[in-house]
């Protein structure tokens, strides 16, 4: 008799992005002529930069030739890409890392979910509320969340409130936590942390021997000066932070899949007996055992982003999405709505009008205006009463969605 992992039975009823897809599909079945505009899930709409396409075409040609063909690559990534990351993403910001601290992967969602595998089950985990749901879901599936208490909260998870009152800036917890998930610029609120705000968390982690998992999927959208692009810009972070970065939102790789995770060798974890272990070694073992590497073609594509023309082209794409975000921000603000984010992030976090329930708001917006948002409580209890738009659709669709939204709001 095969027993299943019963932790799966403890998961929340739905995974928000999947639930939304189903609701859109149901709407299209009833209204086959529907012209639904998606400002919901953050999927990109601009084609890949030309430099990326050309690099991948070159790589495909190499694979077609017996002299340059390649089979398995290094599990942790090709040196050519890792060196570009070290130079352009880190050295350029005064951060020195070594090649064996970088692990190339197939998207930050995988690593964000898998990283828990190298940590014990009894850690107290801190996540913000609202939050990208994968952090909590992965903890539940991996049996790391503890038990569900009477308040419907997990005993091993400390929820850090991010509300209008604190400007969506997470404050340090009163209790001691061991693993801290932070995502900045934030998904879903679109808020970025300043160096001082992030330093507070790094100092906490160092003092409490905690580890921060820092999700920097939206780093490329940072516009303001005092916003760190990497947690390693904060002194001491190399001793306590794992950083996960993605090419999905940066250069349109949502379909291609490529990301990387930085696990500095200075980070240590402990066994129950107090023995000290380097977390880098554990992650290396995990990656080399479970993964055969991101494809050569895709890594060549990612490498091309760092070329002169690649950088210019992807920055143009980011400007395009950020202009969309600015349009959404200004249109919704002009309607008198409370609007957050959209300045260092393509995510815009908005209070539902008339204190409407988020899911009800989502349904009405879909049925009446055929515009898709993400209901805030898909990101946690404190997301209730909010919704999220993104700037990732085309300019035409973004403008049309705003026209419909304004007409709908009447």
The structure tokens listed for 296 are 């050569």
Would you count residue 41 as binding ligand MLT (CB under 6 A)? yes
Name the residue nearer to ligand MLT (CB basis): 119 or 132: 132
Residue 329 binds ligand MLT, judged by CB under 6 A: no
* Rounded CA separation 232/267 (Å): 12
The distance of closest approach from Cβ of residue 32 to ligand MLT in the complex, given in angstroms and rounded to an integer, is 26
Does 38 contact ligand MLT by CB under 6 A?
A: no
Taking the C-alpha atoms of residue 278 and residue 409, their distance in angstroms, rounded to an integer, is 55
> Under the criterion CB under 6 A, does residue 42 sit at the interface with ligand MLT?
yes
Q: Which residues does 225 contact at the CB level (< 8 Å), separation at least 6? A: none
Q: Smallest distance, Å, CB 109 to ligand MLT?
A: 5
- Between 109 and 257, whose beta carbon lies closer to ligand MLT? 109
Q: Given the DSSP bridges, would you call strands 268-270 and 371-372 parallel, antiparallel or unpaired?
A: unpaired
Count Cβ atoms within 10 A of the Cβ of residue 304 and give its class: 0-12 exposed, 13-18 middle, 19 or more buried: buried
What's the rounded Cα separation, in Å, for the pair 112 and 268? 19
**Maximum separation of any 2 CA atoms in the chain, in Å:** 66
Residue 168 vs 204, nearer CB to ligand MLT: 168
- Compare residues 56 and 217 and give the one whose CB is closer to ligand MLT: 217
Residue count, binding to ligand MLT (CB under 6 A): 5
Encoding tokens for residue 286? Answer: 């995990």
- The residue among 41 and 307 lying less far from ligand MLT, judged by its C-beta, is 41
Question: Smallest distance, Å, CB 17 to ligand MLT?
Answer: 6
Instruction: Supply the minimum distance, in Å, between the C-beta of residue 84 and ligand MLT.
Output: 23
Q: Which of 380, 375, 381 is nearest to 361 (CA)?
A: 375
d(CA 368, CA 384): 21
Restricted to residues 251-310, the positions that interact with ligand MLT (CB under 6 A) are: none
How is residue 385 annotated by DSSP? T
Nearer to ligand MLT, 269 or 376 (CB): 376
Residues 4-33 that bind ligand MLT (CB under 6 A): 17
Q: How far is CA 331 from the centre of its chain?
A: 26
Residue 65 CB-half CA count within 13 A: 8
187 binds ligand MLT (CB under 6 A): yes
Q: How far is the CB of 336 from ligand MLT (least distance, A)?
A: 26
CB of 42 to ligand MLT, least distance (A): 3
Q: Rg (Cα) of the chain, in Å, rounded?
A: 21
* 109 lies in the binding site for ligand MLT (CB under 6 A): yes
Nearer to ligand MLT, 41 or 208 (CB): 41
Nearest to 348 by CA among 367, 322, 368: 322
In three-state secondary structure terms, 120 is: coil
Give phi and psi for 205, each to the nearest 5.
-60, -40
Min separation Cβ 264 and ligand MLT, Å? 24
Residue nearer to ligand MLT on the CB measure, 43 or 203: 43
Tell me if 84 contacts ligand MLT by CB under 6 A.
no
Tell me which residue has its CB nearest to ligand MLT. Answer: 42
Using CB under 6 A as the criterion, which residues of the chain lie in contact with ligand MLT when the complex forms? 17, 41-42, 109, 187
């Amino acid at each position: 008799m095969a027993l299943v992992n019963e932790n799966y039975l403890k998961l929340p009823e739905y995974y928000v992005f999947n639930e939304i897809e189903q609701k859109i599909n149901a709407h299209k079945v009833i209204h086959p002529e529907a012209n639904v505009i998606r400002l919901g899930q953050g999927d990109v709409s601009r084609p890949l930069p030309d430099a990326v396409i050309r690099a991948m075409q070159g790589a495909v040609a190499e694979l077609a030739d017996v002299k340059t063909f390649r089979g398995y690559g290094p599990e942790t990534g090709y040196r050519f890409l890792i060196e570009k990351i070290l130079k352009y993403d880190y050295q350029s910001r005064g951060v020195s890392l070594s090649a064996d601290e970088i692990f190339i992967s197939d998207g930050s969602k995988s690593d964000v979910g898998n990283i828990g595998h190298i940590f014990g089950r009894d850690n107290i985990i801190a996540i913000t509320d609202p939050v990208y749901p994968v952090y909590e879901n992965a903890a539940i599936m991996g049996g790391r969340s503890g038990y569900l208490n009477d308040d419907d909260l997990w005993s091993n998870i400390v929820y850090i409130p991010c509300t209008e009152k604190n400007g969506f800036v997470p404050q340090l917890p009163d209790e001691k936590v061991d693993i801290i998930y932070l995502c900045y610029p934030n998904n879903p609120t679109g808020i970025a942390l300043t160096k001082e705000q992030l330093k507070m968390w790094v100092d906490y982690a160092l003092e409490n021997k905690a580890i921060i998992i820092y999700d920097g999927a939206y780093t490329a959208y940072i516009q303001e000066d005092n916003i760190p692009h990497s947690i390693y810009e904060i002194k001491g972070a190399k001793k306590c932070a794992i950083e996960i970065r993605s090419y999905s939102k940066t250069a349109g790789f949502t379909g291609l899949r490529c990301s990387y995770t930085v696990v500095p060798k200075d980070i240590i974890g402990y066994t129950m007996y107090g023995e000290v272990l380097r977390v880098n070694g554990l992650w290396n073992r995990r990656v080399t055992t479970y993964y055969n590497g991101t494809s050569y073609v895709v890594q060549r594509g990612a490498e091309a982003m760092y070329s002169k023309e690649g950088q210019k082209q992807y920055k143009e794409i980011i400007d395009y999405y950020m202009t969309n975000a600015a349009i959404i921000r200004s249109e919704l603000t002009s309607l008198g709505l409370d609007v957050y984010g959209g300045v260092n992030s393509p995510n815009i976090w908005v209070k539902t009008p008339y204190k409407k329930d988020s899911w009800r708001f989502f349904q009405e917006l879909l049925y009446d205006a055929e515009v898709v948002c993400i209901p805030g409580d898909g990101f946690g209890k404190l997301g209730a009463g909010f919704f999220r738009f993104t700037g990732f659709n085309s300019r035409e669709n973004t403008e049309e969605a705003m026209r419909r939204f304004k007409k709908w709001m009447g």
